[in-house]
Amino acid sequence: MTSDGISQLLTLYLWFPLAAFLFFLLLIARLYEKFSEERTHFRLFVLPIILFGIHAVYQTNNNTGSDLVMSLVPAVGGVLLIILCARLYRKMMSLT
């Protein structure tokens, strides 16, 4: 297996622990919404999972140079994840 093959394998398979961690955050947000009756928009945690998954599959299948649109996909997912986590933290700590 070449170094490109190993890189592709790690890129694809490291998405699964990331997706599990984000799903765990989704469950925390859902549990908090259920018991506190405050809206946490827990369903939006699915979007970063999807965006990171799209980027992982694209990186695995494409060996050419970087594409601007596909470079923005994980950036948008990351910014969305930061916003969602910050909102959840503020709600859970009653800072709003």
Domain boundaries, the chain: 3-92
Q: What type of residue is 4?
A: D
What's the pTM value of the predicted model, to 2 decimals? 0.86
Q: How far is CA 10 from the centre of its chain?
A: 17
Q: What is the pLDDT of residue 64?
A: 63
- Each residue's pLDDT expressed in tens, for the chain with a length of 96 residues: 787 778 888 888 899 999 999 999 999 999 999 999 889 999 999 999 999 999 988 888 876 666 888 889 999 999 999 999 999 999 999 865
- 53 neighbors 13 (Cβ within 8 angstroms): no
- 27 neighbors 45 (Cβ within 8 angstroms): no
Tokens of 46: 């699915």
Q: Which helix (H) or strand (E) holds 76?
A: helix 68-92
